[in-house]
A and B are shown apart, each in its own frame.
Chain A
Amino acid sequence: MRQPGAYSKLVSGGKSGPHSLPLARIKKIMKNSSDEVKMISGEAPIVFSKACELFIEELTKRAWIMTLQAKRRTMQKEDVASAVIDTDIFDFLVNLVSHDSANTVRESDQPQES
């Protein structure tokens, strides 16, 4: 049988227990996306938990490429912004990353983690 090598994590290392990302939070964000969102099937957040993982992985890898191009070892926000601008499917994020960099002061006050 053909082994899906690119997705080996899915075959052998897939989580059987709780999902990596909290489903309730995902559902909340889905509901907040628009007033018209009425009902969400129970499995849609599960799809999103995996989709967000894939998204984070892709965005992180692309940003890291930018970091390497700048010959650094610490990924900065500008690397994420460059990755977004560079990728067509991330067009919906362009305003988010450029808007943030235009703000000199961070809006959030959450504790910094390293």
Chain B
Amino acid sequence: MESGGSFNTKRKYTTKAPTSGIVIGATTNIPAVASDANVQQFFKRDADQYMPIANIIRIMRRTLPVHAKIADDAKETIQECVSEFISFITSEANKKCHQEYRKTITPEDVLSAMETLGFNNYIEPLTIFLKKYHARDSHSSSQPTLLVKRNMSYLRQPTAEMARPPPPPPQPPFTMAYDPMQLPNTHQMAPPLPTPSIPLPFPMGYCPTQLITANTMDYGSYIEFSQMKDYYKENQGGGEGSSSLLEFHPFEPFK
């Protein structure tokens, strides 16, 4: 752990100067110009550098018992701690970005920084939160979003894929190429179903999980389908010919 000063060094203006503290009236031994500047700094500092105290108080109150009371200086201390927390994690995330020659701090960097700094407990709830956030986002947009679990590059170009003869489809009961049991929220029997907006030339019985779209973010082992969820439920346990939703049988000529 780093010893020494805070990460928010910019906000420590006059911590030890005689002008710190009460601003009104305590200017007898200070030039007027300096005290004015300090007044402005104090007000500006609180607005910019901290989270709004009302939000913080709300979160505190819902965490504590109903009868609990909180002293004002305790609230302010927590307010400062939150800013310090953000700076601390951001610095670590930024360090990681630098090491990997990247310029943009991503959510993954933040999560990885938290793990490095000991906040492992936060990672799972944050991952779930991000997942739900993406689910809401994709629901509000009109396109279905597929989040990729595995990185199987041979399925990146569907059109190229169609040109090659596909391997024989698994006969029912399905045997998957990988074990979907590892994945929470996944539907085991999940043939991809083309919709009008996404032309998926995959034959029935193929695992759809390697399709990569622009909204891909890799969060580890889960798959999420928005619009397609219901399709997959319907097809669970189905084999060839089980779908009434599709008239697509690319393997007909191969049989």
Measured between beta carbons, the chain A residues less than 8 angstroms from B86 are 26, 29-30, 33, 48, 52
Instruction: Judge if A69 is at the interface, Cβ distance under 8 Å.
Output: no
Q: Which A residues touch B84, using CB under 8 A? A: 92-93, 96
Say yes or no: is B251 at the interface (Cβ < 8 Å to chain A). Answer: no
A51 touches B91 (CB 8 A): no
Indicate if the CB atoms of B90 and A30 lie closer than 8 Å: yes
* Contact present for A44 and B53 (CB under 8 Å): no
Instruction: List the A side residues contacting B81 at CB < 8 Å.
Output: 55, 59, 80, 84, 90, 93, 96-97
| A interface, size bucket | 35 or more
Question: For chain B residues 79-105, which have a beta carbon within 8 Å of chain A?
Answer: 80-91, 93-94, 98, 103-105
Residues of the A chain whose Cβ atoms lie less than 8 Å from the Cβ of B53? 110, 113
Assess whether A60 is in contact with B119, with CB atoms less than 8 Å apart. Answer: no
Chain A interface, >50% SS class: helix
- Interface pair B51/A22, CB less than 8 Å apart: yes
Question: With A30-B90, A48-B86, A97-B77 known to touch, is A7 a contact of B128 (CB < 8 Å)?
Answer: yes
Contact between A80 and B77, CB atoms less than 8 A apart:
yes
Main secondary structure of the interface of B (DSSP, over half): helix
Within 8 A of B (CB), among A19-37: 20-22, 25-26, 28-30, 32-34, 36-37
Contact status of A25 and B51, CB under 8 A, knowing A51-B110, A56-B63, A92-B2: yes
Measured in the bound complex, the distance between the Cα atoms of B93 and A90 in whole Å is: 17
Residues A28 and B48 in contact, CB atoms below 8 Å apart: yes
- Given A105-B21, A107-B21: A43 and B106 interface contact (C-beta under 8 Å): yes
Query: Please, how many angstroms separate the alpha-carbon atoms of A91 and B149 in the complex?
Result: 36
Residues of chain B lying within 8 A (CB to CB) of residue A77: 71, 73-74, 76-77
CB-based nearest A residue for B60: A60
Is A56 within 8 A of B90, CB to CB?
Answer: no
- What CA separation (Å) do A111 and B110 show in the bound complex? 33
B107, A75: Cβ atoms under 8 Å?
no
With beta carbons under 8 angstroms apart, the residue of B11, B82, B107 that contacts A43 is B107
Please report B residues at the A interface, Cβ cutoff 8 Å. 1-2, 4-8, 10-11, 13-15, 20-23, 42-43, 45-46, 48-60, 63-64, 67-78, 80-91, 93-94, 98, 103-107, 109-111, 114, 117-119, 121-122, 124-126, 128-130, 132-133, 136, 184-185
Q: List 10 contacting pairs A-B, 8 Å CB cutoff, sorted by A.
A: A30-B86, A30-B87, A34-B90, A75-B68, A77-B74, A89-B119, A92-B84, A95-B6, A103-B15, A103-B20
